[in-house]
Amino acid sequence: MSLPDRRRGVALSLVLLAAVLGGCSSGGASPSVAPPSASPSASAAAASPSPTEAPAFPVTLTDDEGTAVDVAAEPEKIVSLTPATTEILFALGAGDRVVATDDGSDYPEEAVALPDVATFSSVDVEKVVALEPDLVLAGGLGFTPADAISRLRDLDVPVVVVYAPSVEGVLKDIELIGTATGTTDTATTLTTQMRSDMDAISDAVATQSPKPRTFYDVGYDDTTGAIFAPAADSFLAEMVTMAGGDVITTGDPNTYELPLETLIEKDPQLIVLGTNPFYSPTPDAVAARRGWDALTAVRDDAIRPVRDIEITRPGPRLPIGLRTLAGAIWPDVTLPAAS
């Protein structure tokens, strides 16, 4: 699966997106379709509200695919197969227990130096097994190949699969990972803080009106003119809404492409350009796209690039992402300082 860099970038954005969308996963050996509410239900011992209660391990978790995963003791060697789970582990103070990550894990700095045992499209099961991890965190919806997950589980390696369909789902995933790593209290503190930071930002823009019709540009194929946009009800669409935009989606939860005609019909007043190392067109290049001169946002010069990593990666930096997004949509509104 060697795509040229830019296409790979688009694909990467899509998969990042996919990782945070709802829907069902299938194939492979892992059962699926957990109702979102069922995500991080821990066993009695761990779900107990009082921190002074019985020991947190052993614990049986239900991961986002509905698989029951037994974690016998507090994990000491953790392998993280997605950038988001890596960030979560470090934010929970479990970073020193992470022994390997995937090659996309670029934050925080300490994670970059760790050995890579997975790429965008594959997992080196042999390397993972050689590290003798007592916990592996994988991405759902095909982010981590189902075959790799089932091979690891066959070899009695506990694999927790996470994918969050919504912002609330990300917070629940953080708490799930907290339970899996014995950092429940830190996780609760973190999610409480994130929730209040994000509420403060969306409260600050909530009173603004009218909400601009906002198109979040996920990717564009110069050759075919294919336009990639947030799917309906997706994590990204939710972020744009929280940031005070009237979000333009593909209109379908499983569609990531938006026909140019539809984009023109929806006529965004604002284009937020999600940029990353693989996809970073200039606003001028966006304005020059064939047919895009019909858009109000292009005529008004309202094309605003943002760093999309914090916005699209379902991890602890979401409040920063939301702040960036709200700042791009409402540049004149004073947003609460990040804590």
**Residue numbers of the site for another protein (CB under 8 A)?**
1-2, 14-15, 18, 21, 23-33, 119, 121-122, 124-127, 129-132, 141-142, 145-148, 150-151, 154-155, 231, 253-256
Nearer to another protein, 44 or 155 (CB): 155
Nearer to another protein, 256 or 279 (CB): 256
Q: How far is the CB of 24 from another protein (least distance, A)?
A: 5
Nearer to another protein, 142 or 283 (CB): 142
Q: How far is the CB of 154 from another protein (least distance, A)?
A: 6
Residue where the block lists tokens 């390997």: 100
Rounded-to-integer distance, Cα 249 and Cα 236, Å = 9
Rounded-to-integer distance, Cα 248 and Cα 301, Å = 18
Q: How far is the CB of 131 from another protein (least distance, A)?
A: 7
Nearer to another protein, 231 or 272 (CB): 231
Closest CA to 90 of 137, 42, 41: 137
Rounded-to-integer distance, Cα 72 and Cα 178, Å = 15
Nearer to another protein, 41 or 122 (CB): 122
Confirm if 137 and 100 have CB atoms less than 8 A apart. no
Nearer to another protein, 1 or 113 (CB): 1
Nearer to another protein, 93 or 253 (CB): 253
Nearer to another protein, 231 or 326 (CB): 231
Confirm if 260 and 227 have CB atoms less than 8 A apart. yes
Q: How far is the CB of 228 from another protein (least distance, A)?
A: 12
Rounded-to-integer distance, Cα 180 and Cα 69, Å = 9
